[in-house]
Amino acid sequence: MALRRWIILFIFALSAGLNAQIEEAELDKLIQETLSTFDVPGISVGILKDNQIVYANGHGVRSLENNRPMDPNTLVGVASNSKGFTCFALAMMVDAGKLNWDDKVRKHIPEFQMQDPHVTEAFTVRDLVTHRSGLSLGAGDLMFFPEGSDFTVDDVIANVKHLKPESSFRSKFRYNNNMYIIAGEVLKRVSGMSWEEFIETKIMKPVGMLNSKASYNRVTDKSNIIDAHTRTEGKVIKIPHDWSPLANPAGGIMSNVRDMLTWAQFLMNDAVTADGTRLLDKDLFHELWQLQTPLNVRAGDWYNSNFRGYGLGWFVTDVKGGHKQVYHTGGLLGTVTQFTMIPDLNLAIAVLTNQMNGSAFNTITNTIKDSYLGYENRNWLKNYGGRNARYIKYNDSIKAAVYTQVDKLKGSSKLPKPNQITGTFNDAWFGNILISHDGKNYKIKCERSSQLVGELLPYNATTYVAKWNNRSFDADVFVKFTFDKDGKAQSATMEYIAPITDFSFDFGDLELKRID
């Protein structure tokens, strides 16, 4: 009897530890400290536990321009958290008998081609959404990023055949947005509806996400919406919203923490809405959260995870004691978000921010998650705060050293003459890049991407620095020229100056050839 009583008490204590909610005042304090530590203007946070919203608050301001307060109804671009919606929509088409996950892409988009003919014929709808194409991280993202390019979905479909693989097909996880753009086109062709219309009418409306929209340009009431912000040359500033509608299936949704928790409640209720309507067959829904592409778990993982990988629109892992965690993050220029579910604890956490610093959402999510998993306070604020400060300092030092070298070369007689490097250089998928000289300075202009305009500054005899006029990009790159025997540049490649550069500035995949 004593042993049985001890076991019961142990189980009760364990259960209490797993369901202990962080105190609201403690969480409020943490979020305020997170704002200041990572220089984030505004954060909204929501927690769903046992089908109840136990926390939904905004902190800080929506915009440094108007200082209006962030609240749980403030709309934020959830970015790549949109990918779960795209896969849910495709699964609905599977449920309707109009699609199969293992259909060849060419069945629905006959003009689709990859560089390797074998891969072209083998490529499935499942491959589109599981980041195993063989292409490099962010390959082709310059077709939609930053906003202001003239590429269309037809261009994306036509151009992926020019993207050079980094690895063999299905062998590695490499995150890719353009495959989601193509997946959105599959949805359009099999459903007869645009991706945006399908998401809003077939998912958001029945689920009850009444304040969310599938795209920034579909938000008609912008009275409670964030401005984007980023750290630019040592200071956080407001920047324009930046996301091309072309890439909506990869990251276009606008939502708030209340609606995202409604989405979480629906998902953790096995895809059944509040009024009892099932939107997706139970087995098909279950498949969305199964591993498709494995990822490594590092030694000494913070949550003692045994596995990690990507499902259909979701990252999946296990945390302390084998609890399955389904999650995703998202990033736009000036915005990052995180959405986390632990279904067997009936727990969901949404963190939406208006500044490009993932350390902020990790600090908050991990602290909340730890309180329900029974971890002692691990002081994520201090952990991430220190790392963030060191990372910024490291990146700033790299950029400073580069521009010190640039300053030293001003007026040097050992540099190529303008006629050696000016001209038009073409990449097969990105189009033309124009390099000109006005008698004093070099200019660089990407013909199909209106915002990618800047100075070209000498770094050494063969390498220049593209310094973009829009300093909020924080994406300056080396331009490395190859010269012929007469000293005229015939080709060029590009390389990030600092690792902080967003991977969607996909300059590293360009192979530029002189065409005039």
CATH number for the segment(s) 411-514: 2.40.128.600
Residue type, 363: T
Whether residue 170 contacts residue 124, with contact meaning beta carbons closer than 8 Å, is answered with no
Question: Which pLDDT does position 5 carry in this prediction?
Answer: 31
The residues spanned by each domain of the chain are: 2-378, 411-514
Rounded to whole angstroms, how far apart are CA atoms 12 and 345? 15
Look at residues 459, 432, 454 and name the one whose alpha carbon lies nearest to residue 444. 454
Whether residue 447 contacts residue 434, with contact meaning beta carbons closer than 8 Å, is answered with yes
Look at residues 429, 485, 483, 492 and name the one whose alpha carbon lies nearest to residue 456. 492
C-alpha atoms less than 13 angstroms from C-alpha of 158 in its C-beta half-sphere: 10
pLDDT at 6 over 70: no
- Residue 197 tokens read as 């219309």
**pTM of model > 0.85:** yes
pLDDT at 4 over 80: no
Whether residue 271 contacts residue 280, with contact meaning beta carbons closer than 8 Å, is answered with yes
CATH number for the segment(s) 2-378: 3.40.710.10
pLDDT at 409 over 90: yes
Q: What is the DSSP letter of 203?
A: I
Predicted confidence (pLDDT) per residue in 431-457, tens digit: 999 999 999 999 999 999 999 999 999
Look at residues 473, 239, 227, 253 and name the one whose alpha carbon lies nearest to residue 354. 227
The sign of the torsion formed by the CA atoms of 158, 163, 164, 170 equals negative
Kindly report the average pLDDT of the chain as a whole number: 95
- SS3 assignment, position 272: strand
Mean pLDDT of the 222-229 span: 97
Question: Which pLDDT does position 114 carry in this prediction?
Answer: 98
pLDDT at 207 over 50: yes
pLDDT at 16 over 70: no
pLDDT at 7 over 70: no
